[in-house]
Amino acid sequence: MKHFHLVTRRQFLDRAMKTGAAAALASLTNIPLVMKQALAAESSLGTNGKKLLFIFLRGANDGLNSVIPIGDDGYSLEHRPDILIPRDPGTDYTILGGCDYPSVATPDAPTFGYASAIRLGNGFSALHPSLKFLAPVYNAGDLAMIHRVGYPKQSRSHFDSQVYWETGHPNNPSKEGIFYRTIMESGLAHTLPLTGVSIQSSLPVILRGSDAAMTNLKDPNRYDLLGIPNNTNGNSKADFHLRNANEFPFPSRLNRDLLKLQYNNLSQTLSIFDAMDFSETGNIFTDDVNTDGDTVPYHLFPTTNSKNGGYQAHNNDPLKYVVNPNSYSFFRDLKAAAMVLNNTDAMIAGTRLDGFDTHSNQGGVTGAHANLQRSIGWAIYALRKYFTKYAQRVNWNNLVVVTLSEFGRTTIQNSDAGTDHAEANVMFVAGGGVKGYNKGNPSGVFAGHPNDSIPWVTGRTGSMFGVSTRYLKRSVDYRSVLGKLIRDHLGASQEQLNRIIPGYATASKRLLSGGVSGEDGTQITGELPIV
Amino acid sequence: MSSLKQLFGISVFAVALAVHSGSQAQPLPDIGITRTNGNASIRLPLYPAAEQFRVFKSQNLEGPYEEVLTGNITGFNWQEIISGQSNAFFKVEINTLSSNDLLSATVLNRLAYGPTPDELERVRAMGAEAYIAEQLAPENIQETLDFDQPVTAAEWRYVTITGTATSRDFYIYLTQPGDVYLDDMKLVAGIVPEVGANLLVNGDFESALTPPWTVSANHAATVITSAQVHSGSGALHLIADDGGTSKSSSVWQTISNVTVGQTYTLSYWFRPGTNLITSLTIRFSNDGLRHNPDSIATKLASGLADLDDLRAWHVLRAIKSKRQLLEILLQFLENHFVTQASKSKEYFDGIYSDDILIEGLATEMEYRENKNWRAALLRPDCSFHDLLKISAESPAMIIYLDTVGSKGNGKNVANENYARELLELFTFGVDNGYQQNDITVLSRAWTGWSVNIVDSNQFHNPFAPRSVTVIPGSPTNTMQYLQGIWAFNYKTGNHNTNSKTIFPGATVPARFGPPYAGRNYQLVLPQRNGTNGIKDGYEVLAHLADQPFTQEYISVKLCQLFVHEHFEHGYDFTDPNLSEEGKLVRACMATWESTTPKGQIRPILQTIFNSEMFRGLGSASHKVKTPLEFTVSAVRALWSPTPFPTAYSDGYSHKNPLDLMGAMKLFDRAEPDGYPESAPGWISAGTLAERVRFVQAMLIAPGQSGRGDAGQITADPVALLKRKLDPADYNNAGKIADYFLSILFPGEGKANLKLYHEACVSFLNTGDNGIVSSPISLLAHTSIPYDTRVRGMVAMLMSSQRFQEQ
């Protein structure tokens, strides 16, 4: 379906002639001022300087062990004998305040030595101990954790449910990405060299569509043409001739304008990427503080042993590293996504973290799932630092980081000490503009508390057993979370959002203001005040 | 045709323009004329397929005009030094490619995966017309593809191959553990097998395996045997306990009498060992001559191929088949009736634990679709209905779109997936002639269409019981140990037996005009019990296959494939101002309607190929290549197969580039809408970077660094050049440039390629650092610098915007 208004460069300029002042629009440096003015007449999507970084947690994260309903007696040894995150007997989880930030007691103790659920300070919830680096982000008010997120007629197939999350169109065969549509609505897809970028093996559905090819970088170092065969010094000769040939006039054919535009984009991207060092040597980004009593600030993107915080001091004890060595490739991709957002016009970039399909031996305080939590926690911590200390085109205040995951996992563990496919799950949203703890909201946990408008019902017949007696029941639709971000952060108008998320404004879906979903009769909250 | 243009200045000029075109009229291009400091300049018009510009001058508007031969053309600027101040009128004449040359370029880009140097010559000579006729009757095209000869018995087979010695080191190895027999191996100079001295020492394997033969550790069990010989009393029994890759993991010798750079022909006999599938590789170091006796076809024939084997086979057919249109259509069908091998694997994952077996089953089902469509298309009267039925009965489709477990009996609600895509994507087109409720009702018709493992001789019987034959030696007789074939199987118990009314009271809308408008197309399926329920599905297919909506949508997709991408369904065919595109779709539909049975593919294609739009500038160069078309056409562009191939692909090496150029995973598309046929879906800065890298890597000489992206894909443009160019021109930069421009952009016209030509000449005459002058006329044409220079220039041309097009 072609329902976008595509803005060509020509239309851009035409519109600019007809509109008035909008000079105060924030800085996307490569867009001529007139274009910004043109766009402002309709919305600020693509011109307000706001950006988004997504991380897809593929395989379905066990959200109940990430943001733990520690005050719910349904979260118990009986249901999770091998994977339960225990309470700290010395901690009163009902005390209100900030999130505890367990630090390492002695210089030689494991980084994640605190082996209990971390008190979040909302009187009910707790964090997995491997998420401890979320504490400073949370306490700054920069983190929202939205629990019980799902969609009507939840599919429990990875295949289908990942696609639904990525299209923003559950139970529909459409395969057009929600962020693809966002970028198409911005009108920038055919104007700028880079608008939506993913860093992974291939372009994910979330950025896919048939009217524009978003950029996937398997490895950003590949943005380097090979040059003259057999001659390593021949790059400039090949590059010169290629760029030169791009400018040759030719008779008009249907796709020649597109080809010329994208070749120019390639040329520009080559120049942009030339000035950026994606290689290992270029990974120089470090924390501004020393954590856990260490003598050096940790690298923000742990991509090698020597850049993995804690490795230097304890190089034979992986439990003392900030992240598990298996996650270096994830941090390489995350670093590239962050650098692309920070140094180019790209509005949306992201990557994925694999391995969440923990059907067996999931682990509890330590183990497979805990290692993945370490990556999530440190990634969000590090992105905040990177976009503060190293900010160029975008800073932390103008960025939102969001995680997606296709569904949650069973409340009750299976006989293999793992969990199976279930329904509602938790989403992490972080950024300087996020209204978290003590920053517009009393807590950074949303839809995860018995006092919520749709209460988290505790006990054996409560929310955790709300569907088929073993799945967490949803109270938030993921579209309400993404919709809120696309409109109120990225700057889409409500009208644009209604096209980006089909049916968003349909009253019966209750995505905006909440109520009983006409799609399956479940009570949902609608949008939450997260930004 | 002519138009006049007046220029204001010191003098007044008028320019008249005439076009002598081999094709239909285009709007006359705008031109500019200026006069400065005694120079008259004309901005020559941009006109498709322009071969030559000629400028004429006259003192009077009425003429007579005389050609100005003293002017200079640089790119699109014509300049003449004017003496005196007199006024003048100018006329520009554009000569375009002949209609046969233009159509030859178009048919090789649309009916084929791009021109090869030899095919371009052949088609121009025979006439594009004759080529179209040839391709429309593939059953009459004889072909024997070297890679597609399955070994079906352990018997001796003869192989010859010609290539260039890229080294004196000669390797024989198995890439997987296994064994094979080899005998009477001969390497001779030149291109004729077995003529001349055998340069291999002990190539007949009549004496002991001693130096110069050297046996690496992984082939240590290799022996000279008398148990299986082709001739004499000894043969080589090559045995590997671990796969080899190069010298240190092969049986090899350094051949003293070989000259690097010269042409040699290898011939040998081989006989499969324990297994029909051998992974034998024989090659010179750096691959100037390389051979793998076919194992892809053998694997496919035995059901043991994995997805990469199938992809390699499909790609090699695209490169080498003489039945190019058939291969284009098979890719179109694979993409139109898309299925996903991963979804089949997910299904079998619930039954089997052996990953290799699971992959093999999923692959075989994709291969089976291809085989069935191929057989259908080889019949002259093949109709769309035939092709649709093959797709509906394909177990891959039944699994992919979830009819496999769909139940409509009792209170069960049928899965709508297949019903939706059948209407939306496979027949009518989205929002074309159906309501959402039609999908719900239609989905009930498909309940019961499932898959099962049945006895191999029962695969055509949808009512066959599950196989009861257990694989010998199995611990139990559960499903995973059964022998047979996974086939379409009808489960009567799952079927919704009620009567169903689809498209209730619906009539064809007025926009279709006669003879369609107003036709009632309601379909009532009666109550059907037991095995009769299967008829629901077949009746639906027969009903949908030739409805005007299907005629329109499929015609639109074929026009998008063969003409250009801007065709959409939903035309008002009664509109007197119907677009040219709409008219062509209408013409296809008229053909569809006129044949018996309706919807025969060949007449519909003939309608497209006969159209003005296809034959002239309405299609030429309008389309951008998909990643598959791009990588295949890149190999074909430099591939002259005899006496030895000047370009090579193993088939397997396309997988990674296709993935990098936009996740084009053949036979494994996740989305049911198939890969896009339009340029914006493929072209971005990121994907172009990959396309450019691919052709650059492919043109880097074997053995040099940086060619990793191209895997085993190689090209030797100098060998091609020497096959096609007069030896006197080997060092003529202009001639070299012209030759490659002519084979890479045959539909563009020489005049339009002038700037490319100038860039090529400049490239050939510049040193590798891009600065120093280094005329190619001074480089020995046998030297590496010469080779590098030509490779670089060809890489530059294939990296350009124009090579993205077809």
Are B76 and A270 in contact (CB < 8 Å)?
no
Is the pLDDT at A258 greater than 90? The verdict is no
Q: Which amino acid is at B256?
A: S
What's residue A217's pLDDT?
Answer: 82
- pLDDT (tens digit, 9 = 90+) per residue, B187-245? 999 888 999 999 999 999 999 999 999 999 999 999 999 999 999 999 999 999 999 99
Q: Which residue has the higher pLDDT, B444 or A216?
A: B444
B746 Cβ contact partners less than 8 Å away, ≥ 6 residues apart? B101, B104, B105, B108, B115, B120
Q: Which amino acid is at B751?
A: A
**Distance, CA of B452 to CA of B484 (rounded, Å):** 9
What's residue B86's pLDDT?
Answer: 64
Is the pLDDT at A228 greater than 70? The verdict is no
* Residue B368 host element (H or E): helix B355-377
pLDDT, average across residues B592-600 = 97
Give me the helices (H) in B16-165, please.
99-110, 117-126, 128-136
Task: Report the mean per-residue pLDDT for chain A.
Answer: 87
215-244 in chain A: CB under 8 A from chain B: 215-218, 222-223, 225-234, 236-238, 240-242, 244
pLDDT, average across residues B352-381 = 96
Q: Which of B90-99, B173-182, B431-440, B729-738 has the highest mean pLDDT?
A: B729-738
Which of A242, A248, A257 is the best substitution to test chain B (most B C-beta atoms within 10 A)? A248
Q: What band does B31 get if pLDDT is binned at 50, 70 and 90?
A: low
**Distance, CA of B371 to CA of B375 (rounded, Å):** 6
Which of A255, A267, A359 is the best substitution to test chain B (most B C-beta atoms within 10 A)? A255
What's residue B27's pLDDT?
Answer: 56
Q: What is the 3-state secondary structure (H, E, C) of B429-478?
A: CCCCCCCHHHHHHHHHHCCCEEEEEECHHHCCCCCCCCCCCECCCCCCCC
Q: Is B189 exposed, middle or buried (0-12, 13-18, 19+ CB in 10 A)?
A: middle
Which of A507, A407, A401, A378 lies closest to A467 in space, CA to CA?
Answer: A407
What's residue B14's pLDDT?
Answer: 38
Rounded to a whole number of angstroms, the distance from the CA of B637 to the nearest CA of chain A is: 18
Q: What is the 3-state secondary structure (H, E, C) of A82-146?
A: CCCCCCCCCCCCCCECCCCCCCCCCCCCCCCCCCCCEECCECCCEECHHHCCHHHHHHCCCEEEE
Q: What band does A270 get if pLDDT is binned at 50, 70 and 90?
A: confident
Q: Does A30 touch chain B (CB under 8 A)?
A: no
- pLDDT (tens digit, 9 = 90+) per residue, A493-513? 999 999 999 999 999 999 999
pLDDT, average across residues A466-487 = 96
Q: Which ipTM value was assigned to this complex?
A: 0.90
**Distance, CA of B367 to CA of B437 (rounded, Å):** 35
Rounded to a whole number of angstroms, the distance from the CA of B1 to the nearest CA of chain A is: 19
Portion of chain B with pLDDT greater than 90, in percent: 72
Q: Which of A97-106, A317-326, A372-381 has the highest mean pLDDT?
A: A372-381
**Distance, CA of A151 to CA of A153 (rounded, Å):** 7
**Distance, CA of A249 to CA of B75 (rounded, Å):** 9
Hey, CA dihedral for A63, A64, A66, A71, is it positive or negative? positive
**Is there a contact between A189 and A199 (Cβ–Cβ < 8 Å)?**
no
- pLDDT (tens digit, 9 = 90+) per residue, B529-549? 999 999 999 999 999 999 999
When mean pLDDT is compared across A20-24, B414-418, B732-736, B740-744, the lowest value belongs to A20-24
Counting Cα atoms < 13 Å in the Cβ hemisphere of B156 gives 14
Q: Which residue has the higher pLDDT, A211 or B139?
A: B139
Task: Report the mean per-residue pLDDT for chain B.
Answer: 91
In B587-621, which positions are buried (b, 16+ CB within 10 angstroms) versus exposed (e)? bbbebbeeeeeebbbbbbbbbbbebebbbbbbbbb
What's residue B147's pLDDT?
Answer: 82
pLDDT, average across residues B304-332 = 97
Is the pLDDT at A30 greater than 60? The verdict is no
Q: What band does A321 get if pLDDT is binned at 50, 70 and 90?
A: very high
Are A269 and B802 in contact (CB < 8 Å)?
no
pLDDT, average across residues A266-284 = 87
Is the pLDDT at B664 greater than 60? The verdict is yes
Q: What band does A326 get if pLDDT is binned at 50, 70 and 90?
A: very high
Is the pLDDT at A482 greater than 70? The verdict is yes
Q: What band does B644 get if pLDDT is binned at 50, 70 and 90?
A: confident
- pLDDT (tens digit, 9 = 90+) per residue, B776-790? 999 999 998 999 999
- pLDDT (tens digit, 9 = 90+) per residue, B154-190? 899 998 888 889 899 999 999 989 999 999 999 999 8
Q: What band does B563 get if pLDDT is binned at 50, 70 and 90?
A: very high
135-174 in chain A: CB under 8 A from chain B: 159, 163, 173
What's residue B593's pLDDT?
Answer: 97
What's residue B736's pLDDT?
Answer: 98
Task: Please report residues of A whose CB lies closer than 8 A to that of B404.
Answer: none
A vs B: CB pairs below 8 A:
210
- pLDDT (tens digit, 9 = 90+) per residue, B436-491? 899 989 999 999 999 999 999 999 999 999 999 999 999 998 888 999 999 999 99
What's residue A508's pLDDT?
Answer: 95
What's residue B53's pLDDT?
Answer: 87
pLDDT, average across residues B690-712 = 89
Q: Which residue has the higher pLDDT, B440 or A51?
A: A51
- pLDDT (tens digit, 9 = 90+) per residue, A111-137? 898 999 999 999 999 999 999 999 999
Portion of chain A with pLDDT greater than 90, in percent: 66
When mean pLDDT is compared across A16-30, A272-286, B139-153, B180-194, the lowest value belongs to A16-30
What's residue A393's pLDDT?
Answer: 95
Question: How far, rounded to the nearest angstrom, does the alpha carbon of residue A201 sit from its chain's CA centroid?
Answer: 17
B553 Cβ contact partners less than 8 Å away, ≥ 6 residues apart? B427, B428, B429, B432, B569
Query: What residue has token string 């939102």?
Result: A400
Is the pLDDT at A143 greater than 50? The verdict is yes
- Closest residue in B to A237 (Cα) is B770
Is the pLDDT at A201 greater than 90? The verdict is no
pLDDT, average across residues B405-421 = 88
Of A190, A214, A226, the CB nearest to B693: A226
Q: Identify the DSSP state of B1.
A: -
Task: Please report residues of A whose CB lies closer than 8 A to that of B346.
Answer: 159
Rounded to a whole number of angstroms, the distance from the CA of B509 to the nearest CA of chain A is: 21
C-alpha distances (whole Å) from B436 to each of A365, B407, B432, B433, B663 are: 49, 19, 11, 10, 32
Task: Please report residues of B whose CB lies closer than 8 A to that of A246.
Answer: 801
Task: Please report residues of A whose CB lies closer than 8 A to that of B769.
Answer: 233-234, 236-237
Is the pLDDT at A400 greater than 80? The verdict is yes
Instruction: Write out the two tokens for B614.
Output: 């296809």
Are B706 and A254 in contact (CB < 8 Å)?
no
Q: What band does A12 get if pLDDT is binned at 50, 70 and 90?
A: very low
Rounded to a whole number of angstroms, the distance from the CA of A245 to the nearest CA of chain B is: 7
Rounded to a whole number of angstroms, the distance from the CA of B707 to the nearest CA of chain A is: 9
- pLDDT (tens digit, 9 = 90+) per residue, B104-135? 999 999 999 999 999 999 999 999 999 999 99
What's residue B83's pLDDT?
Answer: 65
Portion of chain A with pLDDT greater than 70, in percent: 90
Task: Please report residues of A whose CB lies closer than 8 A to that of B748.
Answer: 250
What's residue A165's pLDDT?
Answer: 97
Is the pLDDT at B28 greater than 70? The verdict is no
Is the pLDDT at A448 greater than 80? The verdict is yes
Q: What band does A8 get if pLDDT is binned at 50, 70 and 90?
A: very low
**Is there a contact between A130 and A374 (Cβ–Cβ < 8 Å)?**
yes
Rounded to a whole number of angstroms, the distance from the CA of B590 to the nearest CA of chain A is: 27
User: pTM for the whole thing?
Assistant: 0.81
What's residue B792's pLDDT?
Answer: 92
Portion of chain B with pLDDT greater than 70, in percent: 95
Which of B431, B432, B768, B803 is the best substitution to test chain A (most A C-beta atoms within 10 A)? B768
A109 Cβ contact partners less than 8 Å away, ≥ 6 residues apart? A320
Peptide bond into B117 cis (omega under 30): no
What's residue A23's pLDDT?
Answer: 32
What's residue A42's pLDDT?
Answer: 62
Are A255 and B623 in contact (CB < 8 Å)?
yes
Instruction: Write out the two tokens for A363.
Output: 């682990």
